[in-house]
Amino acid sequence: MKKTFILIVNLSLFISTFGQPTLPATRTVEITNTYFGVTYKDPYRWLESIEKPEVETWFRQQADYTNSVLNTLKGRDELIAEWKNLDKLQPPRIRAISYENGRFFYRKTMPGENVGKLYYKQGINGLESLLFDPKNYIKGKTLTLESALPSYDGKKIVIGYSEQGAEISTLKVMDVDTRKFSTDSIYPSQGPMNWTFDNKGFFYMWIKSADSKDPESRLNSKTKLHVLGTSVSADGDFFSNASYPELKIDPSVYPFISLSEDSKSYIFSGTGSVQPEINQYYAPIGQLNSKKIQWKQLCTPADMLVRGLSVIGDDVYTITHKNAKNYKLIATNLQNTDWSKAETISKEKPDQTLEYFINTKDYLLIVHSDGINNHLSKYNLKTKITTSVKLPFQGTIGISCINTKINDCNLGITSWNKPYTEFNYNAENDLLTPSSFNKPPVYPASYKDLQVQEVEVKGHDGAMIPLSIIFKKGLKMDGKNPCLLDGYGAYGISATPYFDVLGNALAVKGAVIAIPHIRGGSEKGEEWYKAGYKTTKPNTWKDFISCAEYLVAKGFTSPAKLAGTGTSAGGILISRAITERPDLFAAAICNVGCANALRLEFGANGPVNIPEFGTVKDSVECKALYEMDGVQHVVKGTKYPAVICVGGWNDPRVVAWQPGKFAAALQNGSTSGKPVLMKVNFDNGHFTQDKNVTFANFADQFAFVMWQCGHPDFQLKK
């Protein structure tokens, strides 16, 4: 169904700046692909050969030019300084807590520290000990701690670290008592999964290559088992399509293994992709050492199980959207896994969606959302009675239970204008006390003066789109306010409220921050998600446009003051919003964004995303991908907004040529005279824990769009 025609053509784009780098000329090529009788031009296909010197030179020249422009802006360095000062005010931040055999392991970041370090202590009141400092482990290297998996006896820990945001781990094993590494070392890996119950080995995700620019580097991944003290070359292929061809595991998915102390009689396996429906298997733990495990199907995507699955003994608990558009919690038993006869634990609610659940010793803690705020209830595993739990304030709830043999948990709450606040929570008596790990945050008075307005906006087809608007108290609705509209709308991920320090720093300076709850997320349930998915994807950017029009109509801003931004899958949203309505926006950010949907599946992380966006091999989905494609919709001679595209050179999720091709098309096509920049983070991937890199990255983006929106703090230096 596909034909390809290639002819090289040169096209020059020249912008001169005295004594400064110039915007590099971007040639075009006459490459076309014909799918199902329709021919699509791809004049910037050559930029996909990112491993070639010519292409790297183009990206480096783009980066140099972008930096030369951004260096002329006031406010950028001041914004970085403000974020750093705010960071120094905060108490230590403790995340990724795990518990094994009386020992707590966690990543802690001290005020002002750039990256977090790994610590442990014996008991909650024990003496804290440093285990791993990624900053000082390899001299001259910028490392981040990706994972830390302690053995069940708490005596060993697998540490995974990566460099410059690449998200590809080197795995090493440390003796906790001596703090010394063994000779065991694995690279490349997507991280550890589980220790064996005898603490003699661990499972990990093997990938073929660490090269995120190689389109085959993530195909045919494997779960391998490493036995301590043995050669990595001898690690067995424990679960993959190669070891179990009868399961017909797709080359693009990630096969995994799971063990649980809540159900030690079994071993579980499954496949992971962006498809939300769960595909999982199980077998008796006695088969762990068998040459060939006799896997039984626990569930297939046809069972419509989503958002997590927990096994306690023989009982299986999960969430389904089958005959429940707002989701419900159900249960079955491993002795008879007939999901059509599953017991309903928490019925579907007409006005709330079921977000997730976790288990403690005696309870299931169940979190629902009304589209903005979360609500907590608990299900008693013994009495089978559900009761609601009253919380001190509304917002987004995050709960973790690091030891399921007790009823104690960590519970955090945050909202658009309320910083993350953590509590100890006892599920038995609903007692909330100050957290044993994280103390309350500290912010200046100006950050306590932010207001939030929740509204619903009528969309292009009559659907009512929730919109959250954050602004400084006393804001005048005169259309003169710079505004940043930030959307996503993919994978069923809802835009849940949280205290965004970076964005709120703009709000205290008089900018409006607006978060649209567009289709493609699941704020209004499964139907809301599927209404912004594949063939219905245009609703995602049309909802974004409707919210932009509302902000203008109500005087929050005006087209000359409005900027839009989309990150990652949000690149589809922002690239299509500004190509459909270039008159509505003054500026836009395409941050590590998927802006070339027709070519998405040809990147390293593309095949695993086919269930979400589609494939050019299907006639209907191919047309849908064209509609999503920002590059395809750039029309030469159009007055486009100012745009800054951002790519991470080490990005394993969205390869840098995705936003790069969009920048090239706009540079050659726009007649507005407004700048189009391609920022390249050579020290970053899709994101990074490195705060210095993060602050610099977003300060560049924010300063650029605020400059274009006329914010007085972000103008050209004299």
Distance CA 286, CA 262 (A): 16
Instruction: Give per-residue pLDDT as tens, 442-474.
Output: 999 999 999 999 999 999 999 999 999 999 999
Task: Indicate whether 168 and 36 sit together in one domain.
Answer: no
CATH number for position 28: 3.40.50.1820
Domain boundary among 177, 210, 238: 238
Is 284 domain-assigned? no
Task: Indicate whether 198 and 61 sit together in one domain.
Answer: no
The single residue listed with the structure tokens 């009868």 is: 246
pLDDT of residue 185: 97
- Provide the token pair at 577: 């919003």
Is 279 domain-assigned? no
Overall number of domains in the chain: 2
DSSP string, 81-140: HHHHHHHHHSPPEEEEEEEETTEEEEEEE-TT-SS-EEEEEESTTSPPEEEE-HHHHSTT
Task: Indicate whether 26 and 155 sit together in one domain.
Answer: no
Task: Indicate whether 50 and 129 sit together in one domain.
Answer: no
Instruction: Give per-residue pLDDT as tens, 306-333.
Output: 999 999 999 999 999 999 999 999 999 9
pLDDT of residue 142: 81
Domain boundary among 189, 208, 238: 238
Distance CA 349, CA 595 (A): 36
Is 490 domain-assigned? yes
The single residue listed with the structure tokens 């709000």 is: 507
Is 570 domain-assigned? yes
CATH number for position 218: 2.130.10.120
Q: Which residues form the domain of 124?
A: 92-238
pLDDT of residue 19: 53
Task: Indicate whether 199 and 77 sit together in one domain.
Answer: no
- Name the helix (H) or strand (E) containing 219: none
Distance between alpha carbon 252 and the CA centroid of its chain, in Å?
Answer: 19
Task: Indicate whether 501 and 614 sit together in one domain.
Answer: yes
Burial of residue 395 (CB within 10 Å: 0-12, 13-18, 19+) is buried
Is 655 domain-assigned? yes
Task: Indicate whether 26 and 56 sit together in one domain.
Answer: yes
Task: Indicate whether 531 and 582 sit together in one domain.
Answer: yes
Distance CA 535, CA 542 (A): 13
Residue spans of the chain under pLDDT 50 = 1-18
pLDDT of residue 10: 33
User: Which of 192, 152, 196, 197 has its CA nearest to residue 172?
Assistant: 192
Task: Indicate whether 52 and 161 sit together in one domain.
Answer: no
Instruction: Give per-residue pLDDT as tens, 551-599.
Output: 999 999 999 999 999 999 999 999 999 999 999 999 999 999 999 999 9
Say if strands 562-567 and 587-591 run parallel, antiparallel, or are unpaired. parallel
pLDDT of residue 20: 65
Is 35 domain-assigned? yes
The single residue listed with the structure tokens 């619903």 is: 456
Beta bridge partners, 425, equal 409, 432
What phi, psi does 185 have (nearest 5°)?
A: -150, 130
CA distances, 81 to each of 85, 198, 511, 586, 692 (Å): 6, 49, 18, 26, 10
- Name the helix (H) or strand (E) containing 402: none
Count of CB atoms within 10 A of residue 68's CB?
16
Distance CA 461, CA 472 (A): 32
Is 80 domain-assigned? yes
Say if strands 117-122 and 129-132 run parallel, antiparallel, or are unpaired. antiparallel
Say if strands 587-591 and 642-648 run parallel, antiparallel, or are unpaired. parallel
Q: What is the pTM of this model?
A: 0.95
pLDDT of residue 356: 98
Task: Indicate whether 31 and 104 sit together in one domain.
Answer: no
Task: Indicate whether 688 and 586 sit together in one domain.
Answer: yes
Domain boundary among 192, 215, 238: 238
Distance CA 104, CA 110 (A): 18
Distance CA 199, CA 249 (A): 29
Is 666 domain-assigned? yes
What phi, psi does 162 have (nearest 5°)?
A: -135, 170
Task: Indicate whether 145 and 126 sit together in one domain.
Answer: yes
